[in-house]
Amino acid sequence: MNFIMIVITMLITITALIMILASLLSKKSIIDREKMSPFECGFDPFNKSRIPFSLRFFLIAVIFLIFDVEIAILLPAIETMPTSNIMSWMYVLIIFIVILLVGLYHEWNQGALEWSS
């Protein structure tokens, strides 16, 4: 037990030293405006390099991912139907679908599913 604690302490110490050393060596001391600006084939950039991010698109993408994962959870439930108790399988599936529908109604009610507003 004592040997394990010594090894863990040594590993944490070595890891911390490497992280500190890497952060000290990676600092750039000379900040040049030309090196920090975006490069477009030798010309000055015509417009901003960052375009504004649409928060509405992000919310719709997250909602899509959530429902996509939930569909991936539902598909194996259909496979297990013949090998499980039908009543308990139906209760679990109905509760799961009701939770999905309540979540969809909430998002619809909040206006998160409308692309243009």
Give domain status of residue 46, yes or no: no
Give domain status of residue 102, yes or no: yes
Give domain status of residue 27, yes or no: no
Q: What integer pLDDT is reported at residue 86 of this predicted model?
A: 86
Query: Which is more confidently placed, 25 or 49?
Result: 25
User: pLDDT (tens digit, 9 = 90+) per residue, 62-109?
Assistant: 888 888 888 888 888 888 888 888 888 888 889 988 988 898 898 889
Handedness of CA 27, 32, 33, 36 (dihedral sign): negative
Give domain status of residue 106, yes or no: yes
Give domain status of residue 80, yes or no: yes
Give domain status of residue 23, yes or no: no
User: Going by C-beta distance under 8 Å and a sequence separation of 6 or more, which residues neighbour residue 48?
Assistant: none
Is pTM beyond 0.95 here? Answer: no
How far does Cα 85 stand from its chain's mean position?
A: 36
Give domain status of residue 74, yes or no: yes
29 has pLDDT over 70? no
Helix, strand or coil, per DSSP, at residue 43: strand
Domain extent for 63: 57-110
Please tell me the total count of domains within the chain.
1
Give domain status of residue 66, yes or no: yes
